[in-house]
Amino acid sequence: MSAAELPSFSTGRFRAEREADWIAFDLLLTKLEKRGAKALTSEELLRLPILYRATLSSLSIARATSLDKALLDHLEALSIRGYFLVYGVRETRWSRIRRFVLYDWPAAVRAVWKETLIISLVIILGALTSWSLVAHNPEWYYNFVDESMSGGRDPRATVEFLRSTLGHGKDGGGEESGLHVFATFLFTHNSRVSIMSFALGFAFGVPTMMLEYYQGIGLGAMLAVFSSKGLGFDFGGWLFIHGTTELFAAALSGAAGLRIGAAVVFPGARSRLEAAAQAGKTAGKVMVGVILMLLVAGLLEGFGRQLITDTMLRYGIGTVMLLFWLGYYYVPRRGDVA
């Protein structure tokens, strides 16, 4: 083929003209990925969008004119990488965390208040059911509470033993280390139950409500056993110190699941997928909060409850925690975005 036959546009020349831009963009992206936006000078930052657009335009031209597979693949990969870096990173992780704690987390919890109320009622209903059943016939207790969870705290136990499980007149020493393991087990167990009740929400929220009801049942059964031995008030304190945080977290996780379930059943004007995705984002924020709350509850349970044995003080701490969470979530604040 002679030179005269060649079209004036050639993909070889196209590449030779633009290749420097692609290489520069590639280097810039690598730097951005490795060391973050702070590593770039202001001149480089200004060049970033220009190079990005140049690469995208090269991709469009190459797709229409070039048959060089390696070139096309490279431009495609480079454009995708560039797109997600240019449009993806808008704030640092630190400011993300700050915004989450200050605004997003409480706003997400406020957004699911209806679901929170419903789940709270479900838990209370579960507690009332098992309480009334066990109070009338202690045999019911064995149907409600798992052997491994009860640890000997059942209707057959003596008052002394039950009192010792509440942290009064404990022998101390020997069982101390075992308790830590138990507390850790409780934290991971509770977190997993919470995550499950959230994650099962998409099944129209039914498994979520069942899980929460079951949680209430365990609670009510224990309450009935202790109050039948005249330890109701002490048990309340034992439960209250971490229970306000833990049960609140449980209710919120159920609420998050229910929100997703409701979105799937009643998507409104949106498509079901879209509705589920939107609800999932709110619920996801709530769930991070729930895990943090469970961590606090675990600390209160593992340390607070072992160190503080006075029942009134336990009630006091539990109430303060409850007020703290309520205030944090529901008191409106300045600069709120949601």
Partner 1 sequence: MTAATNARMRAASAKKVREFVTPEGVDLQLRIASSGLRLGALIVDLIVISAVLLLFSIFMAWVGFSASGDIAVMIWMLGAFVLRTFWFIGFELGSRAATPGKRLMGIRVVARDGGRLTADAVVARNLIRELELFLPLMMLGVGTAEDMVSGWTVLAGVTWSLTLSLFLLFNRDRMRMGDLIAGTWVVMAQRAKLDSDITATAEAGAMRFSDAELSVYGIFELQELERILRGRDPRAMREVADTIRAKIGRPVAEEDDVFLLSYYRQLKARLERGLLFGKRREDKYASE
| Touching partner 1, residues 145-204 (CB under 8 A) | 177-178, 180-181, 184-185, 187-188, 191-192, 195-196, 198-200, 202
User: Which one of residues 3, 4, 7, 307 is an interface residue with partner 1 (CB under 8 A)?
Assistant: 7
C-alpha to C-alpha distances, 223 to 127, 182, 217, 233, nearest whole angstrom: 9, 20, 10, 10
Return the residue of 11, 129, 165, 306 that touches partner 1, per CB under 8 A: 11
Contact mark string toward partner 1, 238..267, x via CB under 8 A: ----------------------x-------
For partner 1, give the closer residue by CB, 136 or 180: 180
And the tokens for 211?
A: 């899980």
If one asks whether residue 1 binds partner 1 (CB under 8 A), the answer comes out as yes
Residue type at 49? P
Task: Give all strands (DSSP E) within 162-205, no chain letters.
Answer: none
- Smallest gap from Cβ 107 to partner 1, in A, equals 11
Enumerate residues 297-326 that contact partner 1 by CB under 8 A.
none
> Segment contacting partner 1 (CB under 8 A): 58-66, 115-123, 220-228, 237-245?
58-66
Backbone angles phi, psi at 96, to 5 degrees: -60, -45
Return the number of the residue (291 or 308) whose C-beta is nearest partner 1: 291
Interface segment toward partner 1; rule CB under 8 A; list 154-162, 217-225, 285-293, 324-332: 285-293
Angle (CA) 69 74 79, round 5°: 130
The residue written with tokens 């009860």 in the block is 150
Interaction of residue 122 with partner 1, rule CB under 8 A: no
Q: Which stretch binds partner 1 (CB under 8 A): 51-59, 114-122, 125-133, 229-237?
A: 51-59
Q: What is the DSSP string of 195-221?
A: HHHHHGGGTTTHHHHHHHHHHHHHHHH
Per CB under 8 A, 53 contacts partner 1: yes
36 phi/psi in degrees, rounded to 5: 80, 170
Q: In whole angstroms, how close is the CB of 284 to partner 1 at the nearest point? A: 3
Least gap, CB of 39 to partner 1 (angstroms): 12
Phi, psi of 331, deg, nearest 5 = -75, 125
Touching partner 1, residues 60-119 (CB under 8 A): 60, 64-71, 73-74, 76-81, 83-85, 87-90, 93, 96, 100, 104, 108
Within 10 angstroms of residue 205's Cβ, the number of other Cβ atoms is 25
> What is the total count of residues that contact partner 1 (CB under 8 A)?
81
Distance from C-alpha of 309 to C-alpha of 177, rounded to nearest angstrom: 18
Asked if residues 202 and 119 have their Cβ atoms less than 8 Å apart, the reply is no
